[in-house]
Amino acid sequence: MTILSLGLLAQYFFSSLIIPILISFIQCLAKHLGSPCCISLNISMHPAHSRSHCTFTLSVPSSSLLHPREQLCDQHLRAKRARVESIIQGMSLPPTPQAFDTSQEAAFRHGRERGGEMPQESKRKPRVPQQGMGAAGQVAPTGGSSHAKGCQQLKEQLCFLEQQFRWLQEKFYQVCDSENAAQTQEDSEKVQPLPGKPEDRPNKDSATFTSSPHKVPLRRSDLPSAVRVLSQALKHELSAVTSQVVDSVLKTVWLKADSHIQKQHHSLPMLGPDARRESSAGGKCRKPLAKPSPMNAPGSLGSPQAEVLPRALGKSLGSYAASFSSKGVRKSSQVPSMGCALGSATPVQHSQLLSQLLGYGQHSLWGSDSRESPSAPERGCPEPLSLPWGTVKLRSSIVRQQQHHPLPLSPASMESLALLPAGRDGHGFAMCRLSLTPRQMQEALTPGHLKKAKLMFFFTRYPSSTLLKTYFLDVQFSRCITSQLIKWFSNFREFYYIQVEKFARQALLEGVVDACTLQVSRDSELFRALNMHYNKGNDFEVPGRFLEVASLTLQEFFSAVRAGKDADPSWKKPIYKIISKLDSDIPEGFKAAGCSQELLHRAESL
């Protein structure tokens, strides 16, 4: 009996993330492979350290594990890969479709149908994944003993898995080490996996894991960005590995399930291109919001997160912060509480994801029937956190609802917004932030964020993505999120320019001669239209600067139209250029955590 003992990363991530997935899949796999190649799964979680340590062992009959651990080297993997590739080549034979029999097969078929990407998938040429996915993935039955082959494949999967975990573990410590030079030696010792002595690991891991994940963040309450790097690096790696695990195990089961299957082999659509695309570093996200993939959660952060970090924004209170009145002092008790509550929904969500992928109902194999995450404190965890991942589209309707029922904020209620602790520098926020798991930052934009963005438009019409990241600190930025925010402002500008142009033409028709006479005041129709759009309910005092910008925009459009420049298809470009230089600083209050939530909460409570 060969034991693969996988020393895991901090329980925080694995017990809630990886373990449930692995357990579920391997159980599924074991069930499917049947007795001759039975897999015994032994997961021991130390009760005393249930939140800090766990051991995960996979026991596989030695008959199916032919290679010693030493052979996990790259050369071996390459050899296997070459072999697999040769199999694939010999596999391109006429398919012999066969009906699915077992319930699981039906489930897989279901999952594939749900994926709905069969046609494209079959066209897609086989990917050549980087992390050895190929070795695990595309093995086709050649008609021999499927069980034997299944076991062989399983063995390879496990080897691969172990390698992945080890790599991930090292990654983790690398980040930790970079954080804490004092611990470098000690940690690096622990990181070194000792293949020959799996039994040694639990203790070491235990010692390490009980300290690192908790100590590091808490000790560095003054370094949120550093912790952010850590968390995001971890998320990225976890996602990648998880995705690969899922892919490889599913493929094994799938191939095992239908030894006569054919074409579809190339296209195992189960996880489809989405999952892979999402998990691959720097994966595209062309349609970020159309089909929110659950897998986009933590790991789709292909973007260099380091970019986000330089948050040492020098910008002080903008010259227009005056638009927020500034009396009264915000009580410390009002420190934004957004996201502070710990959500333990992760495993559940993963299970749901897996269930759906496999075509199971929500109440099946994974034993998860709760749709809602364990309720987080209402105040601390507003709506978004309890929603399933990435349901941005869903939220759009929420936005609409709320926009149709605007609840005006009293000027007084806005005061505290301006006085929110200046972003993450508030101690409470820093601590809160550090206690967030990667997942507890918003992974999708909420109605509150939209409202905030609209108000920000009064200050900046052309925010850079960097600036947006600066002002949406509670958002887990990904390529998708960034593009959505950018898109929002694009839409805002579109509406803005359309309105201004409309009024400019109207002024021209009304016989206005001097462009300088066109001034936008709070009484003007143009302002009302704009205010209605960006500040519905008039619960925010629009900065005077915005009136100046609007006036200038109006004059520019007026002059351009009067000069007949609108005959040029791109006659607006020069105007855009002018206006883009008129952005002003955004009040620090907008940076505050929970700012966007408060905007809505306040509206709701009034």
Q: What is the DSSP string of 15-41?
A: IIIIHHHHHHHHHHHHHHH-GGG--EE
Q: What is the edge-to-edge ordering of all strands in the sheet holding 40-44? A: 2-7, 55-60, 40-44
Is 572 one of the binding residues for DNA (CB under 7 A)? Answer: yes
Q: Which amino acid, one-letter code, is at 519?
A: Q
Q: How many residues bind DNA (CB under 7 A)?
A: 34
Q: Taking CB under 7 A as the criterion, which residues in 48-77 touch DNA?
A: none
Cβ closest to DNA, residue 320 vs residue 457: 457
As measured in angstroms, the least distance from the Cβ of 337 to DNA is: 25
Q: Which of 465, 531, 538, 559 binds DNA (CB under 7 A)?
A: 465
Is 281 one of the binding residues for DNA (CB under 7 A)? Answer: no
Q: Compute CA 354 distance to the chain's CA centroid, rounded to the nearest angstrom.
A: 17
Contact mark string toward DNA, 205..224, x via CB under 7 A: --------------------
Binding range to DNA, per CB under 7 A, among 10-18, 38-46, 283-291, 346-354: 283-291
Cβ closest to DNA, residue 350 vs residue 395: 395
Binding range to DNA, per CB under 7 A, among 215-223, 340-348, 460-468, 549-557: 460-468
Is 454 one of the binding residues for DNA (CB under 7 A)? Answer: yes
Q: Which of 462, 512, 531, 565 binds DNA (CB under 7 A)?
A: 462
Q: Taking CB under 7 A as the criterion, which residues in 423-452 touch DNA?
A: 445, 450
CB 45 within 8 A of CB 22: no
Residue of 348, 387, 394, 346 lying closest to 370 (CA atoms)? 348
Q: Taking CB under 7 A as the criterion, which residues in 478-537 touch DNA?
A: 483-484, 486-488, 490-495, 497, 533
Q: Compute CA 437 distance to the chain's CA centroid, rounded to the nearest angstrom.
A: 12
As measured in angstroms, the least distance from the Cβ of 569 to DNA is: 7
How many residues are present in the chain? 606
Do the bridges between strand 40-44 and strand 2-7 make them parallel or antiparallel, or are there none, so unpaired?
unpaired
Is 316 one of the binding residues for DNA (CB under 7 A)? Answer: no
Question: To which residue do tokens 């990435």 refer?
Answer: 390
Q: How many helices (H) and strands (E) does the chain have?
A: 25, 3
Q: Which of 392, 414, 420, 434 binds DNA (CB under 7 A)?
A: 392
Q: Which amino acid, one-letter code, is at 583?
A: D
**C-alpha span between 151 and 63 (Å, rounded):** 9
Cβ closest to DNA, residue 149 vs residue 449: 449
As measured in angstroms, the least distance from the Cβ of 416 to DNA is: 24
**Integer angstrom CA distances of residue 499 from 177, 241, 315, 503, 559:** 54, 49, 31, 6, 16
Is 573 one of the binding residues for DNA (CB under 7 A)? Answer: yes
Cβ closest to DNA, residue 100 vs residue 495: 495
As measured in angstroms, the least distance from the Cβ of 293 to DNA is: 12
Binding range to DNA, per CB under 7 A, among 106-114, 318-326, 419-427, 571-579: 571-579
Cβ closest to DNA, residue 243 vs residue 482: 482
**Integer angstrom CA distances of residue 317 from 371, 422, 462, 584:** 43, 9, 19, 11
Cβ closest to DNA, residue 304 vs residue 328: 304
Phi, psi at residue 196, to the nearest 5°?
A: -75, -20
Q: What is the DSSP letter of 2?
A: E
Cβ closest to DNA, residue 267 vs residue 446: 446
**C-alpha span between 226 and 228 (Å, rounded):** 5
CB 552 within 8 A of CB 578: yes
As measured in angstroms, the least distance from the Cβ of 553 to DNA is: 12
Is 290 one of the binding residues for DNA (CB under 7 A)? Answer: yes
Q: Which of 288, 294, 299, 448 binds DNA (CB under 7 A)?
A: 288
Q: Which of 27, 435, 512, 576 binds DNA (CB under 7 A)?
A: 576
Q: What is the DSSP string of 270-296?
A: SSHHHHHHHHSTT---SSTTTS--TTH
Contact mark string toward DNA, 126..165, x via CB under 7 A: ----------------------------------------
Q: What is the DSSP string of 118-160?
A: HHHHHHSPPP--TTSHHHHS-----SS-HHHHHHHHHHHHHHH
As measured in angstroms, the least distance from the Cβ of 292 to DNA is: 9
Q: Taking CB under 7 A as the criterion, which residues in 396-425 touch DNA?
A: 396, 399
Residues that bind DNA in the complex, under the rule CB under 7 A: 284, 286-290, 392-393, 396, 399, 445, 450, 454, 462, 464-465, 483-484, 486-488, 490-495, 497, 533, 570, 572-573, 576, 580
